[in-house]
Amino acid sequence: NLEVYGIKSDVGGSVLSFQTDINVNVNIKNCNFHDNRGSESGGVLKLRVGNKEGEGSEFNIINNKFINNRVESLSEVFRAAFGGAISLSGPGKYLIKDNEIIGNEAWAKHEYYYYGIHYTCGGGICLGGSLNVGGCEDVILDNNLISKNKAQFLGGGVSSQMDKSTDKLTIKSGVFSNNESEFSGGGLDLSVHNQPFLVMDNVVIAKNKAAAGAGVWACPTSRVRYHSTYGAAILDNVLDN
């Protein structure tokens, strides 16, 4: 039940940077996070489980607003930024439900891309968002509005960097709209190999923009299932190049 705004941090997670190596239960509910700025990982929240001893941890992010936040990197070396609003990584269960995630951005100064390093990923949310850190084990996105977010490289709305086929990613319902990526995955990006099997139910992915995969970009090893009835509607997305 907090309103948090105007915080600027030179580390990840301007409002909350949290790492655990034991089992914990974290609940973030009914808050309004706007106009905050973090560095490199998590414009608002950076939540990480550090090892397998914490894999029973549960993170519930429910009924919040994340509006006009930004994660940025000014480094001349890595120039990497993950999760304009939220960065999650490590084993554990993550429930992201009933949130408004609008107008957030992942940005890096003088962005430069080369194979093996992913910069500016997840304008709204980055799953597995950090250099040289594995993805998340079990993520549910349920009834979120993810809109008008931007990334310079992967995933204007959401970038999934979950890296094991045994991980779980479920999008139960929600809207991805008007998100932008300068490279791939305007709404949702699944670039990293060995992504989990993604199931989408009752999801609308519309009016997003990217150079490749304006709505959804799935790399050659990704697996996605959706149904035309009560499944996913992917429509009116625009290739920007």
pTM: 0.93
Phi, psi values for residue 107, rounded to 5°: -140, 140
Dist CA 79 CA 62 (whole Å): 31
Please, are residues 153 and 180 in contact by the beta-carbon 8 Å criterion? no
How many residues would you count in the chain?
241
pLDDT confidence bin for 137, thresholds 50/70/90: confident
Task: Give the tens place of pLDDT for each residue, 204-240.
Answer: 999 999 999 999 998 877 778 777 777 789 999 999 8
Average pLDDT over residues 171-191: 94
Closest to 38 (Cα-Cα) out of 65, 17, 61: 17
Instruction: Record the tokens describing residue 226, joined without a space.
Output: 């959706």
Dist CA 19 CA 79 (whole Å): 22
* Residue-level pLDDT at 78: 62
- Count, in order, helices (H) and strands (E) of the chain: 0, 26
Task: Give the tens place of pLDDT for each residue, 104-114.
Answer: 999 987 655 55
* Residue-level pLDDT at 67: 98
What torsion, rounded to 10 degrees, do the Cα atoms 217, 61, 42, 155 define?
10
Average pLDDT over residues 4-23: 93
Please, are residues 205 and 232 in contact by the beta-carbon 8 Å criterion? yes
Please, are residues 169 and 198 in contact by the beta-carbon 8 Å criterion? yes
Please, are residues 59 and 19 in contact by the beta-carbon 8 Å criterion? no
* Residue-level pLDDT at 115: 47
> 15: buried, middle or exposed (CB in 10 Å: 19+, 13-18, 0-12)?
buried
Instruction: Record the tokens describing residue 5, joined without a space.
Output: 């705004």
* Residue-level pLDDT at 134: 61
Average pLDDT over residues 72-80: 72
* Residue-level pLDDT at 125: 97
* Best-predicted range by mean pLDDT (9-13, 196-200, 203-207): 203-207
> Average pLDDT, whole number, for the chain?
88
* Residue-level pLDDT at 104: 98
Instruction: Record the tokens describing residue 239, joined without a space.
Output: 């290739």
